[in-house]
Amino acid sequence: MIACTGDDANYKAITGFEADKYLGTWYEIARLDHSFERGLDKVNATYSLREDGGLKVVNRGFDTKKQKWNEAIGKAYFVETPDIGRLKVSFFGPFYGAYTIIDLDKPTYSYALVTGGKNYLWILSRTPQLANETKQKLIAQAKALGFETEKLIYPNQ
């Protein structure tokens, strides 16, 4: 999702990644709290191809207190090769943050577990809702990796 700095090298990125299948809109099912999404509901991210080989990232969320949409447009580039789900993302000039896909529902790409380091975690889905069984599996996986899953926030979609 949104750019962040982190220790994502501690997390194994998925392999066999296909960017074309990842394109489109993803809905945020859960996240660890951080300032740039605080108070937002209806959070989603839309990915599209850039002419330079990277990805365009458009993050949107509805600020419930201000009753308005917030939007941030960024760019992402593969850190290693395009078949490894480890990217660097920038929303603020030359500063890049980590974006590591640590689980992905292949071959359908219907959900993803993404981190930007130990303080950043997102559960994403192609639909605004995710089956509870799948959500619980991803939460358990994140907990096993050391994430503070009891602090997850579940935005309204």
Delimit the domains of the chain by residue range. 8-153
Yes or no: say if 87 and 97 are a contact pair by the CB < 8 Å rule. no
For residue 93, the model assigns a pLDDT of 78
Closest CA to 29 of 112, 120, 125, 114: 125
CA distance 106 to 44: 20
CA distance 125 to 49: 19
Closest CA to 146 of 11, 3, 14: 11
For residue 14, the model assigns a pLDDT of 97
Cis bond upstream, residue 107 (ω within 30): yes
For residue 70, the model assigns a pLDDT of 96
DSSP sequence for 49-88: E-TTSSEEEEEEEEETTTTEEEEEEEEEEESS-TTB-EEE
For residue 4, the model assigns a pLDDT of 42
For residue 7, the model assigns a pLDDT of 54
CA distance 108 to 51: 25
Identify the CATH number of the domain defined by range 8-153.
2.40.128.20
For residue 36, the model assigns a pLDDT of 87
| pLDDT tens over the chain, length 157 residues | 333 445 556 799 999 999 999 999 999 999 999 988 999 999 999 999 999 999 999 999 999 999 999 999 999 999 999 999 999 999 987 889 999 999 999 999 999 999 999 899 999 999 999 999 999 999 999 999 999 999 999 999 9
For residue 72, the model assigns a pLDDT of 95
For residue 130, the model assigns a pLDDT of 97
